[in-house]
Structure 1
């Protein structure tokens, strides 16, 4: 999308990029900030969407890229951002499968999402898509 964004910047006007990997001359960029998850909620995958919605709530003068809006956003974001730190223990596939079996046996009907949350709350680490694959392999349902 870099070429398309560059063309958009050359057209001019109010353009705001939330996220992205680099600055693009002519476009105001708001870098992703995982520390805002504590305030905005949700997953990192959808954080930029929630950041954009929050940015719109901070439009002080009904202008997307004004100094007032940027200032309002920066003040809010710096006040609520909390760095995320995880000290979770990695697990083998076998350990994850055993956890899934044990928890499903003691909590019938528990969702895959709740199981992953329970695993992480217990100080264990497992990436979301890996957990989903192991869950499907173990339980046989999506």
Structure 2
């Protein structure tokens, strides 16, 4: 009789082990968290949908940040408006002015022959200085 030892029959396991799936999902989450900021780079700009309209007469005097074809920055604030400024000086002056008057419109005026990258760098600089919206100054067609 010893040959017939009572064996317990194992029941079929009906549960799914989800631990490996959780590990995969956490790895994917980390990958997406790292790559998402790299994909979404850009400058928020409100571009007109139709012909550009001039600023209203009753609006505040805008801050005009300019970049010439050599990549020099200018700002219509201070005593030396016709002297080139460093990026740090432009950011400091714009941030100080926007702290005093946050409703001031900010406009970028770029030379027609300047590299696009220079205009974008100026817009990023103004955005980091606290400008909520940055407009582009244009000349009407003749």
> Structure 2-normalised TM-score?
0.26
> Structure 1-normalised TM-score?
0.26
* Structure (1 or 2) with the greater helix fraction: 1
* Structure (1 or 2) with the greater strand fraction: 2
Higher relative contact order (CA 8 A, sep 6+): 2
Larger gyration radius, structure 1 or structure 2: 2
